Amino acid sequence: MKEILVPSSCDGQKAEKFVRKYLPEAPLGFIYKAFRKKDIKRNGHWIKKDDIIHAGDTLRIYVTDQQLEDFKKERPAVKRAFPYPIVYEDENVLIVDKPKGVLVYGDKTGVRETLGNAVLDYLYLKGEYDPNIPGFVPSPAHRLDRNTSGLVVYGKTDAALKELAELFKERTQIHKTYLALVLGDIEQDGKVDLPLWKDTQKGRVYVKSLQNGGKTALTLYHPVKRFGAYTLVELDLVTGRTHQIRVHMAAIKHPLVGDEKYGDFASCREVKAKTGLESQFLHAHTLSFGQMKTPLENLAGKRFVSPLPDNLNKVIEILCGESLN
């Protein structure tokens, strides 16, 4: 039998979700059976899997020591300072400035030096997360590709992460913009309204009609600085499809500079030789919040900015003969 005190970060979770996170290697059938057999109790009383648990509740899970060992896996965390810029932080939210080349999540190689692990290490240092206490794990509310730099938002509590996820899904009270250097001269504002389809086998995204499985995708763009052969554009994702900016801009013959997956390959080779840029020129630039409700009320009306990094400014300076600094 294992007795667990529910931490404040897990307040309001369903019992099933809490147990699944506490025993991440347990088969789902085992967990459901434990609820049916009344092997999971809260404050001395058996509960159903959909019951809500609260901070301070005591859960008892009747498992053997061997089952506990088999079904748990250690969460890697060490106490250390956060190595990247922190843009904003309160008790519910952490907004950080991710450098290019850093994974948000781990990959198949098992690399540990990810943004997510750096966040957990930092919160462990502060005493706001403990890998030895089960339940909620602070997580990002959205994704950025490894080679896209800029703002990433983390929910530090279960309630905050749920609300952030809803914001990014609805996109009415949150506004996020990107900066990209693209090929060609863009003279005026425009939009790309082309459905996208993801080939999970190839890891690529294609323009495809709605009738053939494509999903609605809309990108707005605004030229910030024109250089003749290149344009620095600000992009607003009305929808949030995988690789949306890269595919949409390539579709209108203005691919991102350095994008070897969807861009102009001859240009990529030339840019790499001149500047050393080995991936797409894309930066998550601003993040604005509208009306917010608990627990995100502190974010209401706030706008956060991540300046274009020095390495990308250097690319503009070499290619275009101008500096934005």
Active site members: 145
Torsion of CA 292, 293, 295, 298, to 10 degrees: 40
Question: CA 281: distance to chain centroid?
Answer: 19
The structure tokens listed for 31 are 């967990």
How big is the chain, counted in residues? 325
3-state secondary structure 152-201: EEEECCHHHHHHHHHHHHHCCCEEEEEEEEEECCCCCCEEEECCEEEECC
3: which DSSP letter?
E
Q: Give the three-class secondary structure for 67.
A: helix
| CA atoms of 325 and 322, how far apart (whole Å) | 9
User: Which among 289, 324, 321 has a CA at the least distance from the CA of 179?
Assistant: 324
Helical pair 310-320 and 265-275, crossing angle rounded to 10 deg: 110
Assess contact for 94 and 82: CB atoms under 8 A.
no
User: Which among 97, 86, 88, 94 has a CA at the least distance from the CA of 153?
Assistant: 94
